[in-house]
Structure 1
Amino acid sequence: MNLETSVTRVDDFAPDKAVHYRMSPDNLGCLAAGRPDVCSLANNHVLDFGRRGLVDTLEALSAAGIAFAGAGRDAEEAWRPVTVPAGSRGRGRVLVLACAAPTSGVPPDWAATATRPGVALLAPPWQADADTQADAILSRVAAARRPGDVVVVSIHWGSNWGYDVDDDQIRLAHGLVDGGVDVVHGHSSHHPRPVEIYRDSLVLYGCGDFIDDYEGITGHESYRDDLRPLYTVVVDASTGTLLDARLTLLRTRRLRLERAATGDAIWLAETLDRVSRPHATRVIRAPSGDLTLCPA
């Protein structure tokens, strides 16, 4: 999951930001209850309370036994992929690398360096094109990958609203898949964005929000940000080939998640199907009520 908050008690509010997210380390049990394997920290809120707040976040997650990727005490840690045992008898692994793009609003000086804590931040488009960015990510994957690993790249990118996907995002996603990445887990938008099945691999251009403590953002009601999909993705453990992908639709109401109504599921299926068709992918509502993804 993308954990988009600081976990700290410090009051070092990041300057020149309108919104600051923070949770107390005492509340980490709420996160641990979901048993996350990896939390991506490469986003535009993990340093909302400065580098002290980031180090507190890393220490709190480690103490809770929750692995993280995408941020660290230096660039080496921030860019280091995390491995999760998977497959039959624990012989396989899932390799997760997390990073952020400047398009998601990550300030340039949040980038981790050899001597400074921060996030794994991609170079801005005017400094490196999508192919160069893909090569930089793939080189780090290659250094940690073993035969049979399933590779997930989690990227915080793009704006908060809208269904358009930048050409640079598409080129980056395709470049990653062409280089052997099995799932591109994209996030930043407050609502679900198009999905794509490209060369038997899944690309999520924007998962939308799932759990947060705010509701009713005004001015964007047409995007239905109250609808919160839970993504279930099944890949072949030996090849990484996508076998199944579906969305179980929930809705947030009064700061709680509940099953979405049939009408909500129909609306989201039709909407995601329409915006995903240009990416040669269909979104269909199954008899179970889940939304299933398939090639067009």
Structure 2
Amino acid sequence: MPHCNPCITLFLGGDLMCARGIDQILPYPGDPRLHEPYVKCAGDYVQLAERRNGPIPWPVDFAYAWGVALDEFRRRRPDLRLVNLETAVTRRGRPQPKGINYRMNPANLPLLEVAGIDCCALANNHVLDWGETGLIDTLHGLNAHGLSHAGAGLDQEDATAPAILPLPGGRLLLFAFATEDSGVPADWAAAPQRAGVARLADLSRQSLEQIAQHIQTAKQPGDRVVASIHWGGNWGFAIPEEQIDFAHGLIEEAGVDLLHGHSSHHIKAIEVYRQHLILYGCGDLLDDYEGIDGYAAYRGDLGLLYFADLDAHGRLSSLELQPTRQQRLSIQRAEGADRQWLQHTLSRECGRFGCTVRPTSENGFALVWPDSPH
């Protein structure tokens, strides 16, 4: 059915960490051997989750892990669905000497297809966990399944190129980048003759100008632009001033319409700057941390599904947030005290930027910002 106006709806998900325990419960589990200091078998993460919240009927079908997210997709019918895919997708390669190495069996890529994922940001600190061989397999696997991607490639030009996604009345360009403080080492950076990720050396004026040049080269009239950035550490609500300045610069000077930030394992603040959306940290969309103790104050098991409406000029019309809780390695609804925690935390963190959230009739939240149309 054709759209009667140029407004579009984007789904934005945080880190999709579908390796280890998630990979083990899917129809085609990969090699369970791990190279971590303490856990040597990926199935142990499944058992930890079961110990916490009850048995998981594994193997499960590809829809299982998405849980209520599939209901929300059917109800809201977003034009595009974008995630940060934080794993290598390979059976090959060598584990890099970093302590934690994620990989998903390529045979489990229908996990992304069943949710209708359109595009994956790959600029993160796990896509090269199995070396250049693992990255090449990841790129080939996504291509074979018709899944667009940005942020990693066979060389620097390939890694910095945007994913180009058709939209009613135009296109969406997704650029993806990662920073050193998210755990991306310098030798992972793509080079003219080296595969790797689109890595930002820093959040300097020079980095901003480089991104602006990439956007200016690719952008056509009517295009809307998303910058997906993996930045910052895993834990902590604070947002450094340099991130704020860089985000503002991307909007003011580089032509970015929406900034999709991730890396933290929990939700962070949301800002609307000059009518453009900045998600500083989306949290984890799906992971296998359910049975792991520590960092309880951040509630990494609680998350959000982000549905952003943008007008023809890329400005934010509305942002709806569906509260979620990861339970039995599946995305479920956050209810009761969990939902209240999310609302309170969002209101507190977004308050720094003059924003808050209000409950909606669908048991979700809507962002309210100065000069918002609500």
Decide whether the 8 Å contact of 2:93 with 2:133 is kept in 1: no
Question: What is residue 108 of structure 1 aligned with on the other side?
Answer: 186
Matched to 2:252, the amino acid is D
What are the residue-to-residue correspondences of 1:63-78 with 2, within 5 Å?
A: 63-78=144-159
Contact 2:93 2:132 in 1 (8 A): no
> Deviation per CA, 1:157-180, whole angstroms, max 9, x where unpaired?
011111100111111100001022
- What amino acid is aligned across from residue 321 of structure 2 in structure 1? L
Q: Structure 1 residue 214: deviation in Å?
A: 3.1
1:227-242 equivalence runs, <5 A: 227-236=302-311, 238-242=312-316
1:219 aligned partner, one-letter code: G
How far the C-alpha of 1:11 sits from its partner, in A, is 4.2
Residue 142 of structure 2 aligns to which amino acid in structure 1? L
**Worse-superposed segment, 225-234 or 263-272:** 263-272
* Cross-structure match for 1:3: 85
Q: CA deviation at 1:121?
A: 0.2
Instruction: Tell me what 1:185 maps to.
Output: 260
Match of 2:99 among 8, 15, 18: 18
Write the deviation string for residues 22-72 of structure 1: whole angstroms up to 9, x where unpaired.
Answer: 001111111111111110000000000000100010001000110110000
1:259 corresponds to 2:333? yes
Of 200, 209, 213, 1:122 maps to 200
**2:230 match:** 156
Q: Which amino acid counterpart does residue 217 of structure 2 have in structure 1?
A: A
Question: Is the 2:127–2:135 Cα contact (8 Å) retained in structure 1?
Answer: yes
Tell me the residue number matched to 1:53.
134
One-letter identity of the residue aligned with 1:152: V
Distance 2:359 2:212 in 1: 35
Query: Which residue matches 2:273?
Result: 198
Mapped partners of 2:210, 2:160: distance in 1: 10
Deviations 1:130-189 (A, max 9, x none): x32222111101100011111100000011111100111111100001022110000001
Structure-1 separation of matches of 2:336 and 2:149: 35
Report the Cα offset of residue 218 of structure 1. Answer: 2.1
Identify the match of residue 270 of structure 1 among 337, 341, 344: 344
Task: Could you tell me which runs of 5 or more consecutive residues in structure 1 were left unpaired when the two chains were aligned.
Answer: none
Percent identity, aligned pairs only? 47
Give me the whole-angstrom Cα distance separating, in 2, the residues matched to 1:159 and 1:291.
26
CA distance in 2, matches of 1:77, 1:281: 37
Q: Does the C-alpha gap of structure 1 residues 217 and 285 become closer, same or farther in structure 2, counting only changes over 3 Å?
A: farther
Alignment: residue pair count: 287
2:324 maps to a residue whose letter is L
Instruction: Give the number of the structure with larger relative contact order, counting CA–CA contacts within 8 Å between residues 6 or more apart.
Output: 2
| CA–CA distance in structure 2, aligned partners of residues 13 and 156 of structure 1 | 21
Q: Does 171-180 or 259-268 show the bigger shift?
A: 259-268
1:193 partner amino acid = K
User: Which TM-score applies when normalising by structure 1?
Assistant: 0.94
2:362 to 269, 283, 288: 288
TM-score in terms of structure 2 length: 0.75
Deviation at 1:232, TM superposition (A): 0.3
Question: In the aligned structure 1, how far is the partner of 2:342 from the partner of 2:285?
Answer: 15
Structure 2 distance, partners of 1:235, 1:11, is 41
How far apart are 1:267 and its partner, in Å? 1.4
> Would you say the 8 A contact 1:71–1:120 is kept in 2?
yes
Amino acid at match of 2:360: A
Q: Is the 8 A contact 1:265 1:285 kept in 2?
A: no
Structure 2: unaligned runs, 5 residues or longer: 1-82
What SS class does the counterpart of residue 133 from structure 1 fall into? helix
Report what 1:80 is aligned to: 161
Match of 2:300 in 1: 225
SS of the counterpart of 1:228? strand
